[in-house]
């Protein structure tokens, strides 16, 4: 399958049908739909403009970044629909019906809210295009690739706002007034994002070269009206305080999370986060009604994503120091693990296979398969902690030696005690 060829979406949906069906299953949804969507989308890199090769399709190694972005955007739009589906899907026919309705929704969404992406509804010979064909074409247009890293970063990360607005739009009747509202909201959200970035760039009273270039690239990608573009440029030049920004304090948890994590990435543009900038992030989190733990979780989510896909993120990793990022991440995860030590111990003791591997490892060397299984089971135990239900743990990065650094002191010995 090649996402640059006609018919790719049909092939991909067929390949992913079991996973997509599983999204509606009991127990797969978090306590809040926003948390579920974040859990699905954040590991893909869409929020950060970095579509990673986390796909299990046999042809995925041959896909370029544009191909990956098309897949990520399609799967994110479809997943957000299925996560709002109010009952488990029981059979292939029901899944087909739900997917058909989803594809119609995607096609209508882009037609109403992004008219510049509109495509003909009929072929040259007058045949009416199917919902699958229309959705495929609109996803291709929406995910057009940008060659410059930061232009690409913002173009791609702004696609996350498509997902957010789509999640609201599918619960409305798409008349002209509603469509006009969402088109207005689309521009307002992008303007709010500029204000967040401007405040972050001015946090330490020094606008670094990297931060200035960042804003230039954003304005190239944001497709703002001339009036809004001029307003944003002026805001960035003079700076803006958090108090001056009309932030969505009573709005979506998912949207606020996105704003916070874009602010973190803006501050990371010059490869360091100083004390003043950290204080700014704490004030921003507080303004968004997030606790310091929520801020820690966002820092951990971004660090974990970067570490898991370090070899793929050629440009992004140039903005970070691997050693520093890994040390910070290990420290943050260890803090969460210590806080939930009792729960982790109970989970370990409740797994017969895990206990047998731990006992064996105490007396002899495990073979490679056993080590891999032990690593997998320990990560599964970590995933029972509420924080890691929402945040994706970087499985490739969390090797056994690193897990031993993260788990609480004497954890293995205590797991073997009566």
Question: Token pair for residue 203?
Answer: 């946090």
Question: Which of 78-82, 118-122, 164-168, 276-280 reaches the highest mean pLDDT?
Answer: 276-280
391 CB burial (10 A radius; 0-12, 13-18, 19+): buried
Q: Which phi and psi (to 5°) does residue 174 adopt?
A: -80, 65
Which residues, at least 6 apart from 377, have a Cβ–Cβ distance to it below 8 Å?
A: 351, 353, 354, 357
| Full-model pTM | 0.79
- DSSP codes joined into one string, 26-46: TTSS-SSHHHHHHHHHGGGTG
pLDDT at 25: 52
Q: What is the pLDDT of residues 149-185, one digit of tens each?
A: 555 666 667 778 878 888 777 766 655 655 666 666 7
Task: Say how far apart CA 280 and CA 196 lie, in whole Å.
Answer: 11
Which residues, at least 6 apart from 134, have a Cβ–Cβ distance to it below 8 Å?
A: 103, 107, 119, 121
Collapsing DSSP states into helix, strand and coil, what is residue 246? coil
pLDDT at 202: 81
**pLDDT band at residue 95, thresholds of 50, 70 and 90?**
confident
Say if residues 398 and 406 touch (Cβ distance below 8 Å). Answer: yes
From residue 343, how far is each of 280, 350, 385, 389 by CA, in Å? 34, 11, 8, 14
Collapsing DSSP states into helix, strand and coil, what is residue 392? coil
Residue bearing tokens 């049909």: 10
Which residues, at least 6 apart from 87, have a Cβ–Cβ distance to it below 8 Å?
A: 24
Beta-carbon-side half-sphere exposure of residue 224 (alpha carbons within 13 Å): 25
pLDDT of residue 187 exceeding 80, the answer is: no
For the chain, give every domain's residue range.
1-170, 175-289, 335-416
328 CB burial (10 A radius; 0-12, 13-18, 19+): middle
Average pLDDT over residues 102-123: 69
Average pLDDT over residues 50-70: 71
Collapsing DSSP states into helix, strand and coil, what is residue 405? helix
Residue 67: which of 135, 154, 9 has the closest Cα? 9
Task: Say how far apart CA 50 and CA 69 lie, in whole Å.
Answer: 8
**pLDDT band at residue 194, thresholds of 50, 70 and 90?**
confident
Residue bearing tokens 């789509």: 166
Residue bearing tokens 């544009």: 66
Dihedral angle of Cα 240, 224, 159, 1, to the nearest 10 degrees: -150
pLDDT at 27: 45
pLDDT at 406: 93
Q: What is the pLDDT of residues 302-338, one digit of tens each?
A: 888 888 877 766 555 555 677 888 898 999 999 999 9
pLDDT at 125: 46
Question: Which of 44-58, 249-263, 384-398 reaches the highest mean pLDDT?
Answer: 384-398
Q: Residues of 223-260 as b/e, b for ≥16 C-beta within 10 angstroms?
A: ebeeebbeebbebbeeebebeebebbeeebbbbbbbbb
* Residue-averaged pLDDT of the chain: 77
Q: What is the pLDDT of residues 130-150, one digit of tens each?
A: 556 666 665 666 556 555 555
Average pLDDT over residues 230-252: 77
Question: Token pair for residue 218?
Answer: 């954003």
From residue 137, how far is each of 118, 131, 143 by CA, in Å? 9, 10, 10
Which residues, at least 6 apart from 136, have a Cβ–Cβ distance to it below 8 Å?
A: 6, 7, 8, 9, 10
Chain CA centroid to CA 112, Å? 25
Average pLDDT over residues 372-379: 93
Collapsing DSSP states into helix, strand and coil, what is residue 128? strand
Average pLDDT over residues 271-299: 89
Collapsing DSSP states into helix, strand and coil, what is residue 122? strand
pLDDT at 36: 81
Q: Residues of 2-12 as b/e, b for ≥16 C-beta within 10 angstroms?
A: ebeeeebbeeb
Task: Say how far apart CA 334 and CA 373 lie, in whole Å.
Answer: 21
pLDDT of residue 297 exceeding 90, the answer is: yes
Element (H, E) at 182: helix 176-201
pLDDT of residue 110 exceeding 80, the answer is: no
Average pLDDT over residues 359-381: 90
pLDDT of residue 124 exceeding 50, the answer is: no
Average pLDDT over residues 230-244: 82
């Amino acid at each position: 399958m090649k996402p640059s060829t006609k018919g790719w979406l049909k092939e991909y949906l067929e390949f992913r049908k079991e996973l997509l069906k599983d999204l509606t299953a009991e127990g797969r949804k978090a306590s809040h739909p926003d948390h579920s969507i974040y859990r699905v989308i954040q590991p893909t890199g869409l929020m950060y403009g970095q579509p990673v090769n986390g796909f299990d399709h046999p042809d995925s190694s041959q896909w370029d970044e544009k191909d990956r972005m098309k897949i990520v955007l399609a799967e994110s739009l479809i997943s957000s629909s299925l996560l709002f589906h109010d009952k488990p899907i029981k059979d292939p026919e029901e899944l087909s019906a739900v997917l058909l309705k989803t594809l119609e929704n995607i096609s209508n969404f882009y037609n109403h809210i992004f008219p510049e992406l509109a495509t003909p509804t009929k072929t040259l010979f007058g045949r009416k295009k199917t919902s699958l064909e229309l959705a495929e074409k609109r996803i291709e247009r929406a995910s057009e690739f940008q060659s410059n890293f930061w232009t690409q970063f913002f173009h791609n990360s702004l696609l996350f706002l498509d997902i957010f607005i789509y999640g609201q739009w599918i619960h409305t009747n798409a008349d002209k007034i509603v469509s006009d509202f969402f088109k207005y909201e689309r521009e307002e959200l992008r303007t709010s994002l500029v204000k967040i970035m401007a405040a972050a760039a001015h946090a330490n009273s020094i606008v670094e070269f990297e931060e200035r270039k960042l804003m230039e690239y954003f304005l190239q990608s944001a497709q703002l009206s001339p009036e809004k573009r001029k307003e944003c440029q002026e805001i960035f030049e003079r700076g803006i305080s958090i108090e001056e920004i009309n932030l969505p304090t009573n709005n979506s948890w998912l949207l606020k999370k996105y704003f916070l994590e874009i602010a973190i990435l803006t501050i990371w543009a010059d490869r360091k986060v100083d004390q003043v900038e950290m204080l700014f992030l704490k004030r921003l989190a507080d303004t968004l009604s997030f606790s310091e733990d929520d801020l820690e979780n966002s820092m951990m989510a971004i660090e974990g994503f970067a570490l898991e896909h370090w070899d793929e993120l050629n440009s992004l990793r140039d903005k970070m120091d691997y050693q520093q990022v890994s040390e910070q991440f290990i420290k943050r995860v260890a803090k969460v693990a210590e806080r939930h030590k009792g729960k982790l111990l109970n989970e370990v003791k409740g797994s017969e296979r895990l206990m047998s591997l731990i006992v064996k490892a105490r007396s002899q060397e495990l073979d490679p398969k056993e080590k891999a299984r032990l690593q997998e089971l320990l990560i599964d135990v970590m995933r029972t902690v509420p924080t890691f239900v929402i945040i994706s743990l970087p499985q490739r990065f969390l090797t056994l030696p690193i897990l031993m650094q993260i788990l609480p002191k004497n954890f293995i010995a205590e797991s073997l005690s009566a």
